[in-house]
Structures are given as C-alpha cells and as structure tokens.
C-alpha cells in the first residue's frame, strides 16, 4: 500500500499512539526511515498489556508491521521487548518473527520505553535533542498501535482499548473494553473497590496521572492502577513545584545526583535538573537558554524517586518550566549529535529496583487475562483523546448510533475522528464529549 493511502486509513480510523501521549499515528508516517521499531518494552511496573497482546495477538502485530514496512519502504523492523518479557514469551534476541522482522531484547532497566532511550538501545543512534526519531532514520510505534494499524487497513476504526487493571487489589486483570468506558463501571463490573487511603492512576506508577471518579478509558489508557497513598508512586505525584521549590531552598545540597542519574543527560542531552532546581530556588537567575532545556525532560521521574535523597522533586520543578514552554510553543532543538556518557550502562536502574523504589514491587504479579468485554451500558467518548485539535461532533442528543459509526470528524490540522464504541442512543453532546447509552 502507498504511504499516503495508509496514512489516510490510519487517520480515518482514528489511530493514535496507544501507549503514550496520544500523538496521531498518521502524522508519524514519513519516508526516509530505514528502521521500524515496535515498542513493546512496557517499562512501567505492574503493566502487562503489551505482554498479553503479544502473547495472544502476534498475527495482528505482524500484519501491522508488514503494512508499515511496505508503505514506508523499510527493510527491517525490530520488536523491542525487555528480557523478562522475551523469557515469558519464549522469544530470544535476534529471533526472526517474519521476513524482515526480528526480536530485539532490551535490558530489564528503567526507563526503556522512552522513544529516545529505546532508539539508542536498539540501534545505537541518538536522536538529536528536540528532533523527531525520523531524523535518526527510525519510526517507532507501540505494539497496540501496530495492531490498530492492521485493523485500519481493513477499515476498522479504534473503538476498543486493551488495559491492565492492577495495583493493590486481590486480582489484577488484562481486559479489552470500549473506549469511553467509565472507570467506575469497570470497577463495578469486575468487583473492584478502591480502599480508603488509596489513589487511582491512569497509566503506570511512574508516569501515570491521578484520576477521579469522573475518569473514563481513553485510547491511550494502558492501565488503571489502585495504589496506597503512602507509596512513592503517589507521593511523588503530589509533590508540586511550589512545595519542591520551598524544600529546595533549604534542603538542596547541589549534590548533582539528579543530573548524574537522568536518563536523558546520560545520553548526552544538555539537561541538568540540579541547575534547574537551583534556579527555581532563586540561587541563580534562570536564563532562557537554561529554561528551554526543560523541554528535553521525558518525565521519567528518576531524579525524584531514586536520585534525590532530600525529598525534592526536580521533576515537579521541571514540569513547571515545561508548562510555560508549552504555552509559548517553545522547545529546545539542536543540530548537534550528542554522545552517550560512558557511565550510562552502570547508572540505569534495574526494573525490580525501580518498582521497589516506587513502593509497588509487592503488587507486581502477572494479571489474569480476561480478553474482550464489550458489555458496558454507557460510554463517554472524549473529543480530545489525542494531541492536536479536538474532534468535532457530528451527532446530536437523541440520535441512535451503531457500534463503529463515525460520531465526530477530525478538525483542521492535526486531529482525528471518533467512532461509537457501542450501539445506543446519544444522551449528551458537549464540546468535550459524546455520551452514548446502550438503552
Ligand atoms: S538530587 Fe536533590 S539535593 Fe541533589 S542536586 Fe538534585 S535536587 Fe538537589
Ligand atoms: S524526570 Fe528527571 S530524570 Fe527523568 S528526564 Fe526529566 S529531569 Fe531527567
């Protein structure tokens, strides 16, 4: 299939990066790459979504890879998985899965799922700071995204989402549910209760976001985790920039551990969390050159949860700067190729240690596989499940819709359409969501 045709199908079917920030997948398609990486590193503790997808849906994964290789004219693809996943799947490094497709095992360390780290680990190439992977000749898609691309080639839009439901609950599960399923309905269906003094996350314990009872499953939800408030995973998310700055004023000893351990700094990126903390406490004045380096942070949390022994969150300080940069559409871009630090290999954090540091190691167990479950009576399809302009509703309240029917068009520019995950009646349409009741 031609690249333009594939891109159109991916856009028309609403395919978005299923494991990350929600970048519309069609926008990543471009000529000039020589390597396709399929990211199955599943770096976050407690998540087993990609593992089960690979275990039960390898033919779909390979079909998606085949379409991408053909459209992009790429001669090699690697399925990138961590050593422990490879062991569970009985795959080995270098093993051929199909023509031009081989397994690439990654060390059991955190973070590996970050595109920049993944590309370096799998190919030895470093993406120039602020540049896209394509500039290093690489295109990266998550495992589930590749499955959704295979489905898009048959005209099937994204209406379902695989996710792990886990944490401090008796039985963790991996299940596929309609996009827009309210998290409270999901819990009720599977008899899950959130104990007192626990918090619910959308995503993993490292980079997931705290959600409340209004949350719904989106196209980017890889997991829903219930974790005790006292865990570092939750505490680190409650440390806001203000409190961190206040603590930094008295407690930051400028030991530089946060910079020494930063995975991006270890790849030669010009980011120095300890300096950004110093500017936040007004020990030195922030310069635009220094502030803009905050945009190179991948948000992994290593500086906060492992490196700093003074309970300061360099990440919260950096997030504050990142917010200002994003509002002003500013980011660091360099034409210089960085060099990885020789110490990098010894400073990466073993996955087990990372899980323990976050206080979640005790909840780590392989979930029970529940397969697909479409039996939910209500969905709330968010119109902004992707980076870019929100989708535009094309249905009105009271209208009956079929499962798979288009209910919102993409807007101008970077955007995606939305489809009804269940058949039923449209109950509510706002600028932010479309609610459908099975009736
Ligand atoms: S690790 Fe903590 S104490 Fe050390 S420089 Fe960074 S913020 Fe300051
Ligand atoms: S969160 Fe901290 S360790 Fe991770 S990339 Fe950002 S500054 Fe570096």
SS (H, E, C) 399-427: CEECCCCEEEECCCCCECCEECCCCEEEE
What confidence score (pLDDT) does residue 239 get?
74
- DSSP three-state, residue 162: strand
CB 186 within 8 A of CB 384: no
Hey, what are 146's tokens? 């590749």
CB 206 within 8 A of CB 232: no
CA 340 – ligand 1 centroid, Å: 22
**Number of C-beta neighbours around residue 61 at 10 A:** 24
Distance CA 214, CA 59 (A): 36
| Torsion, CA 254, CA 258, CA 264, CA 270, rounded to 10 | -10
pTM for this model (two decimals):
0.93
CB 17 within 8 A of CB 38: no
What confidence score (pLDDT) does residue 278 get?
84
- CB-ligand 1 contact for 264 (6 Å cutoff): no
Per the listing, tokens 């104990």 go with: 195
CA-nearest residue for atom 3, ligand 1, is 252
| Torsion, CA 361, CA 363, CA 366, CA 371, rounded to 10 | -140
What confidence score (pLDDT) does residue 20 get?
75
Comparing CA positions, the residue from 152, 200, 196, 147 lying closest to residue 176 is 147
382 φ, ψ (degrees, to nearest 5): -75, 140
- Per-residue pLDDT of 42-82, as tens digits, reads 999 999 999 999 999 999 999 999 999 999 999 999 999 99
Domains of the chain in start order, with CATH, are 3-153 (3.40.50.11540), 159-231+359-376 (3.10.20.600), 236-350 (1.10.1060), 377-439 (2.40.50.100)
CB 415 within 8 A of CB 388: yes
**Number of C-beta neighbours around residue 186 at 10 A:** 21
CA 204 – ligand 2 centroid, Å: 16
CB 121 within 8 A of CB 107: yes
pLDDT in tens, the chain (439 residues): 899 999 999 999 999 999 778 899 999 999 899 999 999 999 999 999 999 999 999 999 999 999 999 999 999 999 999 999 999 999 999 999 999 999 999 999 999 989 999 999 999 999 999 999 999 999 999 999 999 999 999 999 999 999 999 999 999 999 999 999 999 999 999 999 999 999 999 999 999 999 999 999 999 999 999 999 999 999 988 877 677 777 777 788 889 999 999 999 999 999 999 998 887 766 556 777 778 899 999 999 999 989 998 888 899 889 888 888 888 888 888 878 899 999 999 999 999 999 999 999 999 999 999 999 999 999 999 999 999 999 999 999 999 999 999 999 999 999 999 999 999 999 999 999 999 999 7
- 321-326 long-range CB contacts below 8 Å, 24 or more apart? 321/276, 321/291, 321/294, 322/294, 322/295, 322/297, 324/291, 325/291, 325/292, 325/294, 325/295
What confidence score (pLDDT) does residue 317 get?
86
CA 36 – ligand 2 centroid, Å: 26
| Mutate-to-test residue for ligand 2 from 314, 316, 347, 348, highest number of ligand atoms within 8 A of CB | 314
What confidence score (pLDDT) does residue 330 get?
84
Ligand showing the shortest atom-to-Cα distance for residue 308: 1
CB 103 within 8 A of CB 89: no
Taking the CA of residue 303 as reference, the ligand 1 atom at the shortest distance is 1
Distance CA 345, CA 26 (A): 34
What confidence score (pLDDT) does residue 241 get?
67
What confidence score (pLDDT) does residue 248 get?
74
CA 209 – ligand 2 centroid, Å: 16
Hey, what are 262's tokens? 């930063």
Distance CA 21, CA 145 (A): 12
CA 255 – ligand 1 centroid, Å: 5
CA-nearest residue for atom 2, ligand 2, is 303
What confidence score (pLDDT) does residue 284 get?
59
- CB-ligand 1 contact for 302 (6 Å cutoff): no
CA-nearest residue for atom 6, ligand 2, is 297
């Amino acid at each position: 299939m031609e690249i333009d045709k594939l891109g159109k199908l991916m856009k028309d079917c609403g395919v978005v990066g299923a494991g990350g920030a929600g970048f519309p997948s069609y926008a990543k398609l471009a000529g000039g790459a020589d390597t396709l990486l399929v990211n199955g590193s599943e770096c976050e503790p407690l998540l087993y979504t990609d593992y089960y997808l690979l275990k039960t849906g390898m033919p779909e994964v390979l079909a998606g890879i085949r379409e991408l290789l053909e459209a992009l004219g790429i001669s090699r693809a690697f399925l990138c998985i961590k050593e422990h996943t490879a062991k569970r799947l009985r795959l080995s490094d270098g093993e051929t899965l199909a023509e031009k497709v081989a397994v690439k095992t990654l060390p059991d360390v955190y973070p590996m799922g970050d595109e920049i780290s993944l590309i370096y680990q799998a190919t030895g190439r470093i993406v120039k700071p602020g540049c896209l992977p394509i500039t290093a000749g690489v295109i990266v898609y998550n495992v589930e995204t590749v499955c959704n691309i295979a489905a898009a080639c048959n005209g099937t839009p994204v209406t379902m989402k695989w996710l792990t439901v886990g944490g401090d609950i008796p039985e963790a599960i991996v299940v596929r549910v309609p996009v827009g399923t309210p998290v409270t309905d999901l819990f009720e269906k599977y008899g899950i209760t959130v104990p007192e003094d626990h918090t619910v996350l959308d995503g993993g314990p490292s980079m997931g976001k705290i959600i409340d009872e209004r949350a719904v499953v989106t196209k980017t939800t890889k997991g829903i985790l219930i974790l005790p408030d006292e865990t570092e995973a939750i505490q680190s998310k409650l440390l806001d920039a203000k409190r961190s700055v206040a603590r930094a004023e008295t407690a930051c000893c400028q030991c530089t551990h946060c910079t020494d351990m930063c995975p991006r700094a270890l790849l030669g990126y010009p980011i120095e969390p300890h300096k950004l903390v110093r500017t936040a406490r007004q020990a030195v004045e922030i310069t635009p050159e220094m502030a803009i380096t905050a945009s190179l942070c991948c948000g992994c949390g290593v500086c906060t949860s492992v490196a700093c022994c003074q309970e300061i969150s360099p990440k919260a300080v950096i997030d504050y700067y990142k917010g200002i940069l994003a509002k002003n559409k500013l980011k660091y871009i360099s034409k210089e190729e960085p060099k990885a630090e020789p110490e990098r290999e010894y400073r990466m954090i073993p996955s087990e240690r990372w899980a323990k540091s976050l206080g979640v190691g005790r909840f780590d167990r392989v979930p029970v596989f529940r397969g697909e479950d479409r039996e939910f009576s209500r969905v709330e399809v968010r119109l902004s499940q992707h980076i870019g302009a929100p989708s535009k509703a094309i249905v009105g309240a009271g209208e009956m819709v079929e499962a798979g029917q288009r209910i919102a068009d993409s807007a101008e520019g970077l955007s995606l359409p939305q489809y009804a995950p269940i058949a039923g009646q449209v109950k509510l349409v706002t600028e932010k969501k479309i609610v459908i009741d099975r009736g």
